[in-house]
Amino acid sequence: MAPPTHARTGGGDLAIEVTDLVKTYPAARKKPPVRALDGLTFDVPAGVVLGLLGPNGAGKSTAVKILTTLSRADSGTARVAGLDVVNDQQAVRLAIGYVPQKSSSDPMATGTENLVLSGRIYGLSKSDSVRRSAELLERFGLADAADRQVRTYSGGMQRKLDVALGLVHRPTVLFLDEPTTGLDPEARADLWTEVERLSAAEGLTVLLTTHYLEEADRLAAQLAIVDHGKVVASGSPEELKAELRGDSVQVELADATSANRVHSLISELPGIGEIVVEGNVLRARVDRGATAVPAVLGVLEEQEIAVAAVTVARPTLDDVYLRYTGRTFRAAERASDAEKERAA
């Protein structure tokens, strides 16, 4: 059975409660209005890292902007740290830390200056702010660069400083919008370690948006998969993967024209679940990969259909995504990129 699309976690403190958010951006020149959020609903229990996973343009950043009081929804309600994001705006701002998608430090200021100013804005005294800044710089391995202007920092260092900026005032809820986009693999792994430490050691509630399946799998205890402004599935990564019984078999054909014929051939085999065709690639859910692969290959050989590759894998988040949205994550990303290009 599919998990309910907006599961309410009964009992316990909820750090974030989002109910039926709708946000439409007005039509721009020659472009139709965009419905960025279309009834978005999800909860985050206190102390949990929740990943909002979805392709670019799914509405993740819009959701974060509404939850951080930067933007306003057309309808629906959202509470963060028990406070309404519209009616208790100022209190919400004090309770949260926000790490925007783009680097949020002042490049002309040093690491310390950035952090101290941020602390002061949130009401820390000068000395508290200085102490807290030094502590964060130390923790993020930036102590050596503390007195250097941020414009001399590497991308990874800037991103760590961004996270530190979100933490100066000891928020109870931290929003990380695409924290590792544009980072090299090493810097990414580094930041992952930091985020893991944060949630484990400080009991911080973290809402993380990402379009990296791997990142969601690694960091998020709970996932909400977002597509076209709605949560289409939620649960822990393990739960979501377990929902997809069996394995995934992927058949890459030498020639895309025979894909439809292969589709009907394979669907007649026993133990085969849903099949999705994308170009010359067929992906099928099967009960057991070990028995399905020889059967599939047998049929294809009988019909003399050339095969480029066959792979079998345990379910991944990509399969989960495919299951709920009917398209692979890569295809969704490509589609949204193409849309962006058309709009530009």
Partner 1 sequence: MATMTATAVRSSARSGGLAGQTAMITGRWLRAQYRSPALIAFTLVQPAIWLLLFGQLFKGVVKLPGFSDSSYIAFLTPGIVMMTALMSSGWAGTTFITDMERGVMDRMLTSPVRRGALMAGQLLSNATTTVIQTILVFAIGLAAGARYDGNGLGYVVTIVASMLVGTAFGSLSNAVALLTRQQEALIGIFQFVSLPLTFLSSIMMNPKLAPHWVEVGARFNPVDWATVAARQSLTANPDWSSVTRHGLYLLAFTLFVAYLSTRAFRTYQRSV
List residues near partner 1 by CB under 8 A: 13, 25, 65, 68-72, 81-83, 88, 90-96, 98-109, 113, 117-118, 120-124, 149, 162, 165-166, 169, 172
Identify the CA nearest to 322 among candidates 208, 178, 213.
Answer: 213
Question: Toward partner 1, which CB reaches closer, 150 or 296?
Answer: 150
CA-nearest of 336, 327, 98, 325 to 226 is: 325
Nearer to partner 1, 58 or 83 (CB): 83
Judged by beta carbon, residue 129 or residue 325, the one nearer partner 1 is 129
User: Which residue, 82 or 271, is less far from partner 1 as judged by CB?
Assistant: 82
CB of 42: closest distance to partner 1 in angstroms? 18
Residue nearer to partner 1 on the CB measure, 94 or 146: 94
d(CA 340, CA 90): 34
For residue 127, which amino acid is it? S
Extended strands (E) in the chain: 14-25, 34-45, 49-53, 75-80, 83-84, 96-99, 173-177, 205-210, 222-227, 230-235, 247-253, 272-278, 281-286, 307-313
Q: Which residues pair with 250 in a beta bridge?
A: 283, 311
In the complex, least distance from residue 85 CB atom to partner 1, rounded to whole angstroms? 10
Report in angstroms how near the CB of residue 102 gets to partner 1 at its nearest.
4
Report in angstroms how near the CB of residue 283 gets to partner 1 at its nearest.
37
- Separation between Cα atoms, residue 152 and residue 170, nearest integer Å: 27
- The closest alpha carbon to 203, from 1, 15, 7, 8, belongs to 15
Torsion of CA 226, 201, 81, 321, to 10 degrees: 10
The letter for the amino acid at 162 is D
Question: Measured from the CB atom, is 95 or 142 closer to partner 1?
Answer: 95
**Minimum gap (Å) between residue 82 Cβ and partner 1:** 4
| CB 142 to partner 1: min, Å | 17
Structure token pair of residue 177: 């919008």
**Smallest separation, CB 151 to partner 1 (Å):** 10
Torsion-angle region of residue 73: left (phi > 0), alpha (psi -120 to 50) or beta?
Answer: beta
- Mapped onto helix, strand or coil, the DSSP state of residue 150 is helix
Q: Pick between residue 37 and residue 317 the one whose CB is nearest to partner 1.
A: 37
